[in-house]
Amino acid sequence: MQSIKSGVWPTMITPFTPDQTIDYAAVERMIDYYHRRGVAGLFAVCQSSEMFHLTLAEKTELTRFIADNCPDGLQVIASGHTAERVDDQVREAEAIMGAGSQAYVLLPNRLAAEDESDEVLIERMSEFTDRLPGVPLGIYECPYPYKRLLTPKVLRACVDSRRFWFIKDTCCSIAQIAERLQIIRDSGIKLFNANSATLLESLQLGADGYSGVMANFHPELYVWLCKHYAAEPEQAERLQQLLGSASMAEYQYYPVNAKYSMSLQGVPMESGSRVKDAARFTESQRKEIAQLTGLAARIGEAMGIHV
């Protein structure tokens, strides 16, 4: 892999059949959906993919299917980093990379418990990287099972290792993002903001794109913002107002609502999930998502975005 592309990296959801097996026909339709909307790459087997509720065999098979069915030029990276012990984590990474992922994404909360120090995290990260020489790495501040943000000390250790290419940033703080961009400057690491409300400001500071939940609802709008924010600042500011407000859907009933939105956009799939009971997705919530989906489509049409 030569480089991680800047732009939009959706955190892929996992569609399931009624009997809760992975619906690969829907996965293939999703890949086409993302590709036609111009994303730079796909972040597979992440929390949005319900990776803590997938077996290693399922994570490996899913990664292989996505990698095998991606059009040329569409990059794929994956996590699947859920095990407790470093030995098991290395086996996970070997399986995922062997399935065709172009980089492996670590979770800092898997490298150290909530009451353990940065020094412990850095030591385990070093052990992990030493056992997987040559594997391109990313790091993702996953909020489950607990959210561990990258401190400047840990981030500098990532830079010093010369192994990391990708940060999925979930700090939701412009001040912290600005500090992080300074730390990784000229390191080759690219920072992708997961927070919609701070996205435009972060791009203006030098962030490389967006990798978050809402790219499962209207990725084409995020693609436009990442490509045109500098050349069309007034339009970018108007679009940012919509994207920040729309991102409240993330707190509604995700990932069930994202599966419902995709179905409305011509990517039919069941709304079932292993982390949320789809039966609790209310009529009002469905209407909210339907209206948001319609609004995003109209905004895209008004902006001349064709998908």
Kindly report, residue by residue over 34-70, the tens digit of the pLDDT.
999 999 999 999 999 999 999 999 999 999 999 999 9
How far apart CA 60 and CA 196 sit, in angstroms, is 30
Cα dihedral 260/278/77/31 (nearest 10): -30
Over the chain, what is the mean pLDDT?
97
The pLDDT of residue 144: 96
pLDDT at position 1 over 60:
no
Q: Mind listing the pLDDT tens digit for each residue in 164-206?
A: 999 999 999 999 999 999 999 999 999 999 999 999 999 999 9
For the chain, percent of residues with pLDDT exceeding 90: 98
Q: Mind listing the pLDDT tens digit for each residue in 220-230?
A: 999 999 999 99
**DSSP one-letter code for 100:** T
The pTM of the whole model exceeds 0.95: yes
Cα dihedral 291/294/295/300 (nearest 10): 160
Q: Is 77 helix (H, G, I), strand (E, B) or coil?
A: strand
Please give the distance of CA 22 from its chain centroid, rounded to a whole number: 19
How far apart CA 27 and CA 45 sit, in angstroms, is 12
153: closest CA among 110, 118, 112, 120? 118
How far apart CA 64 and CA 51 sit, in angstroms, is 15
CATH superfamily, with its number, for domain 7-302: Aldolase class I (3.20.20.70)
Q: Residue 307 — pLDDT band, cuts 50, 70, 90?
A: confident
Query: Measured between alpha carbons, how far is residue 70 from residues 1, 18, 82, 159, 270 in Å?
Result: 15, 25, 25, 30, 22
Q: Residue 306 — pLDDT band, cuts 50, 70, 90?
A: confident
Domain range summary for the chain, segments of one domain joined by +: 7-302
The pLDDT of residue 2: 65
pLDDT at position 82 over 60:
yes
| Average pLDDT of span 149-166 | 97
The pLDDT of residue 283: 98
| Average pLDDT of span 92-110 | 97
